[in-house]
Structure 1
């Protein structure tokens, strides 16, 4: 299959390891379109993910063009408090004051790196922070927006399966020189997503995903967050434990 040329600044990773090392959450995209055939191929690759008893409980809704603009307008309308559209399908994270260590410090470090160091926005400048946050609802300018859902029937195993699918999709995208950003913020307005995308009640809305070509000149895309060492999270048992 002949692929359309990617932007000149795009470099596709050569190996799975390269894809893992180069994957990051991109929050500024070029307007270059991503063909539907490319998205379909990436979804087919992601569908090779493992799932409980091969249930494959995931569903995706892909929005581009006018459909994406319409959804963005509805999400921003609800975000401004002009629509009864707030509500999540599941508890995604603790309340603001409910974070424990070490997660609280990691989360704070991320927020400071993004807002203060990259965007130059102080913790007190709530207006500027809100302006940036609203970009979530336009999928950070990406040409393709994806909403990932999963069947409620398999219960919590379906969330594990959806996570495997999501990671596979992001890595497959890197294999094509594309970038992405998983977005939990979209689920704050699950009723809006459900209404616009005709998502049935038996589907749980897991998250969104922005997909496209990263804008290499945008300062947001210079952000690189560190990862903990293997020694900090892995415990080895057995003869080779030493």
Structure 2
């Protein structure tokens, strides 16, 4: 496809220009109702719905319209096999921490040294989650089991993995993050919930070959499905910083 053809095709597919969103409240509701769902029902999600979510999400911005994201959707036997493989590795590292050296992230997600105010926010989030789950300090077995739920997609029937080609620069991570946010918001429009996951990243050496994406960079994963509204863990909502704390107004 030539550049000129691509421009014409994009123009034919693009939504009409509008200065007003038909229902602004629904946009706000999708954003504000999104949360990290940590327990899902096993109810299947139709492929048509998933395709619709991805199609809507594709309108995310990206530098020079590169659209660097790649998406791998795992369900059924493929989902279960990958889950077992990574759970086994996670259990092995828990039993022998020296094995952690076998696994590494594609890029450094968290800082090596935490400073204020981020360390306080991290602690508050972790303590709040464990409080809802009634996991006491020092209950290592239960902490491990809860961490393991990441690798079971928290029971969600759908897992998504987002990757980039390794030759791309850091900007591709930013572009892909905006795409993933669109996926999460489009899922809300379908009555679905999600949980963004960086927990899979250290196990990229197991995940990527399973996906047939060995030459790519794992950005993150996403669990997606119908929320289990009866699960206590889904009542957890970490607070948000007031905009006044992070916004500077320059007139």
Q: TM-score, normalised by structure 2?
A: 0.85
| Pairing partner for 2:158 from 137, 144, 152 | 144
| Pairing partner for 1:61 from 72, 76, 91 | 72
Size of the aligned set, in residue pairs, is 222
Query: Is the contact made by 1:29 and 1:214 (CA closer than 8 Å) also made in structure 2?
Result: yes
Q: Specify the alignment match of 2:223 in structure 1.
A: 210
Q: Specify the alignment match of 2:12 in structure 1.
A: none
Query: Is the contact made by 1:78 and 1:85 (CA closer than 8 Å) also made in structure 2?
Result: no
Local SS of the residue matching 1:41: helix
| Pairing partner for 1:132 from 142, 146, 170 | 146
Q: Does residue 86 of the first structure (1) align with residue 97 of the second (2)?
A: no
Query: Is the contact made by 1:85 and 1:190 (CA closer than 8 Å) also made in structure 2?
Result: no
Query: Is the contact made by 1:78 and 1:86 (CA closer than 8 Å) also made in structure 2?
Result: no
| Pairing partner for 2:115 from 82, 87, 100 | 100
Q: Specify the alignment match of 1:112 in structure 2.
A: 127
| Pairing partner for 2:198 from 162, 184, 189 | 184
- 1:174-195 superposed Cα distances (whole Å, 9 cap, x missing partner): 0111000000000110000012
Q: Specify the alignment match of 1:4 in structure 2.
A: none
Q: TM-score, normalised by structure 1?
A: 0.88
CA distance in 1, matches of 2:63, 2:245: 29
| Pairing partner for 1:221 from 219, 225, 234 | 234
Task: Specify the structure having the higher radius of gyration (Cα).
Answer: 2
Structure 1's 173 and 85: CA in aligned 2 closer, same or farther, altered over 3 A?
farther
Local SS of the residue matching 1:87: coil
Local SS of the residue matching 1:199: coil
- 1:38-82 superposed Cα distances (whole Å, 9 cap, x missing partner): 111101111110000000000011000111000001101211228
152-161 vs 136-145, greater mean Cα deviation: 152-161
Computed over aligned residues only, the root mean square deviation of the Cα atoms, in angstroms, reads: 1.6
Query: Is the contact made by 1:178 and 1:211 (CA closer than 8 Å) also made in structure 2?
Result: yes
Local SS of the residue matching 2:183: helix
Once the two structures are TM-superposed, the CA of residue 14 in structure 1 deviates from its matched residue by: 6.2
| Pairing partner for 1:19 from 30, 37, 41 | 30
CA distance in 2, matches of 1:195, 1:17: 38
Once the two structures are TM-superposed, the CA of residue 85 in structure 1 deviates from its matched residue by: 5.7
Once the two structures are TM-superposed, the CA of residue 123 in structure 1 deviates from its matched residue by: 1.8
CA distance in 2, matches of 1:163, 1:71: 23
CA distance in 2, matches of 1:145, 1:14: 29
Query: Is the contact made by 1:149 and 1:206 (CA closer than 8 Å) also made in structure 2?
Result: yes
Which structure 2 residue ranges, 5 or more long, are not aligned? Answer: 1-23, 94-98
